[in-house]
Amino acid sequence: MLGMADSTQTLIAPPLAAKKPHSFSHHGTSVSDDYAWLRDPGYPQVTDREVLAHLEAENRWFEARMAPHQDRIEALFKEMRGRIKEADTSVPQKDGDWLYWIEFEEGAQYKKWWRRPVAGGPDELMLDEVALAEGQEYFRLGAVSVSPSGRYLAYSTDLNGSERYTIRFRQLIGPGGIADEVPGAAGKWGDSEVEGTIGNIVWSAAEDAVLYSLSDENWRHRTIRLHRIGSDSAEDVTIYHDPDEAFSCGVALGAQEKWIILHAGDHETSEVRLIPAHDPLAEPLLVRPRQKGVEYDVDIRGTEPGREVVYIHTNDTHENFRLATAPLTDPGAWTTLIAGSNDFYLTGFDLFRDFYVIEGRRAGLDQIEVRYYDDPARVEPIVFPEASYSAGLSGNPEWHTEKLRLSYESMVSPATVYDYDVAARSLDTLKVQVIPSGYDATLYATERLEITARDGTAIPVSLVYRRDRRGPGPLHLYAYGAYGIAVDPGFSTTRLSLVDRGFAYAIAHIRGGDDLGRAWYKAGKLERRTNTFNDFVDVAKGLIERGYTAAGRISISGGSAGGELMGAVANSDPGLWGAVVAHVPFVDVLCTMLDESLPLTPGEWPEWGNPIEDKAAFDLIRSYSPYDQVKAQAYPPLMVTAGLNDPRVTYWEPAKWVARLRELKTDGNELIFKTNMGAGHGGKSGRFESLKEAAEEFAFILWQLGVEG
């Protein structure tokens, strides 16, 4: 490694990965991949000494280059931390006989989960994440599920970022605390541990078992199992196993808690089965057989046998989805309740005893409507105070309720918790996010722009900046643009560290997300994937033309598929960007989509195309895959991150990309790469550790754009 003779010596040059000739051929095309060796052949175990040595050398180079900026990093971290109310609690939510809430203590990285009886009584600590995380380099809580009577607790944890969770159980014993164990066959709590799980945990009505989704050796989730409390997990019963390698399975509980819902699907097709919660070993009832391209999800209303109604949210007749109903006795006979619409994108629904709620977007903005079972014409939209915002239902566990708990925020309005009185049609503010170091919303302005892309499509852009900002200054541009995931115009205290230093902060609502409906998503996937990259570049150019910024004064960031976006636009338009931050970037798209042994690949083909079988998909993916398109040219300053245990974007993707960039780029700009050796896709755990990583990112941006302060 050039310049790496000894880790204690002064580092004078970045590490250069060895080139080891390797190539592969598909559809008559040979592709060179000289850095393929960075994939440890023993993955998911990474033990290859040469691979680890290279990653550690890159980490040392990262630390060396960032070392002169530690004072700024620390100042940014303190600034960001100062905007967080450290001793904080959520608004209690009633569920049955209990009120539940979570709480952060001063200085704590993790939460505590509390409850108390509605009828009165002392607070009870159900789960202490602080204690569970003690001594762990990484800790992330997965699912938390209280049994129907409130007597038992099931929860899952991940201790290395691999997203393989272990379920454990506790007996809630009332005032004063929790039991240390649920006795098993040998009288030990550990007898009821279940390893290798992912997703939600659902209790049986009898509270003697839970259903969960199992993660197999390839991190695929095709199996739903039942675990009897106190038994050995080796005895768990398979409730459902999907035969399709591309499908993933999940489990949920219906709104009335009478039915367990088994969902299987990929990125474009789904299939649902139902099981009585009181009889989880019953034969699952299929709602409707899968049909390629048809997605649906369901819930059930009614308890009288023979009169239950299935509600179905589906895109079978309109890409923006409709809401249909069917009798449980014939769940595949769907009758439209709310028709699909070009103007309203129906994203979901929730059932309650006396009414139901639909959520969606109109012109890209969140909408929530209350509707009534006995009066289809009665529609009551919930009206919010700003023209641009993010809003949605937020934890409404009870079937019979007269109020809806809502979350709300905008780019200038801190997160707010409301109760909406359904009868009075009024909002009651329960909590507004507190910013201890101070925040004056009147100092900031937000805009919603439209910028025309090269093909004539109008791309929405959400902007926030200080009102005293002058001239074309620095601007940070963010986007994701994949999987139909919208980026909401929400609030961020972290973002203020750029905005208060003269940046405008822009979110480009590019195609590939579903910000403007399902057609918007489809216009950025498969054969139209390059629209996503072009939209982002054209938004940047449009912001320059409108005087918000200038070429070379734009910092950009994205993660995962958004990191792919970063790589693509760094290749295509390097002169636009003053700094590029790519977190766990999906940049080795061609190799990953050609490798069906990788955890997610079969399920990703509906999103990106299958280059194994389809030459057109092979050629298209190769034409934009950031790793494959690195060339000898000047590149902007780049900061890249990875997680050694990341099952979603494997560590070698960014490692290979950085290695090829180091080989070919012709500039002297910074290129730094950090691998979290004990974390996964989401970076380090803990609320302050994540802030430290944000402070590093912002310090890099400020350094590269020459912004003081």
Active site residues: 560, 646, 681
Strands 475-478 and 554-559: parallel
Task: Report d(CA 15, CA 638) in Å as an integer.
Answer: 15
Element (H, E) at 418: strand 416-421
The number of C-alpha atoms within 13 Å of 86 and in the hemisphere containing its C-beta is 13
**CA 675, chain centre distance (Å):** 20
Question: Which tokens go with 564?
Answer: 């792919």
For 662, other C-beta atoms within 10 Å of its C-beta total 18
Residue 288 identity (one-letter amino acid) = R
Task: Report d(CA 486, CA 503) in Å as an integer.
Answer: 23
- Please report, to the nearest 10 degrees, the dihedral formed by the alpha carbons of residues 453, 454, 455, 459 taken in order: 0
- Please report, to the nearest 10 degrees, the dihedral formed by the alpha carbons of residues 515, 520, 525, 528 taken in order: -140
For 549, other C-beta atoms within 10 Å of its C-beta total 24
Mapped onto helix, strand or coil, the DSSP state of residue 23 is strand
CB 605, CB 598: distance < 8 Å: no
CB 629, CB 656: distance < 8 Å: no
Residues, the chain, total? 709
The Cα angle at residue 409 between residues 85 and 367, in degrees rounded to 5: 150
Buried b (16+ CB within 10 A) or exposed e, 142-179: bbbbbbeebebbbbbbbbbbbbbbbbbbbbbeeeeebe
Task: Report d(CA 395, CA 409) in Å as an integer.
Answer: 16
CB 485, CB 455: distance < 8 Å: no
DSSP E strands, 479-619 = 504-508, 554-559, 577-583
Task: Report d(CA 42, CA 217) in Å as an integer.
Answer: 13
For 34, other C-beta atoms within 10 Å of its C-beta total 16
Q: Long-range pairs for 394-402 at CB < 8 Å and ≥24 separation?
A: 395/93, 396/350, 396/352, 397/93, 397/95, 398/94, 398/95, 398/96, 399/255, 399/256, 399/257, 399/352, 399/353, 400/352, 400/353, 400/354, 401/352, 401/353
Question: Which tokens go with 653?
Answer: 């993707």
For 217, other C-beta atoms within 10 Å of its C-beta total 8
Give the largest Cα separation in the chain, rounded: 77
For 574, other C-beta atoms within 10 Å of its C-beta total 18
What lies within 8 Å, CB to CB, of 98 at 6+ separation is 115, 116, 117, 118, 146, 150
Task: Report d(CA 490, CA 475) in Å as an integer.
Answer: 18
Task: Report d(CA 633, CA 533) in Å as an integer.
Answer: 19
Mapped onto helix, strand or coil, the DSSP state of residue 565 is helix
CB 364, CB 462: distance < 8 Å: no
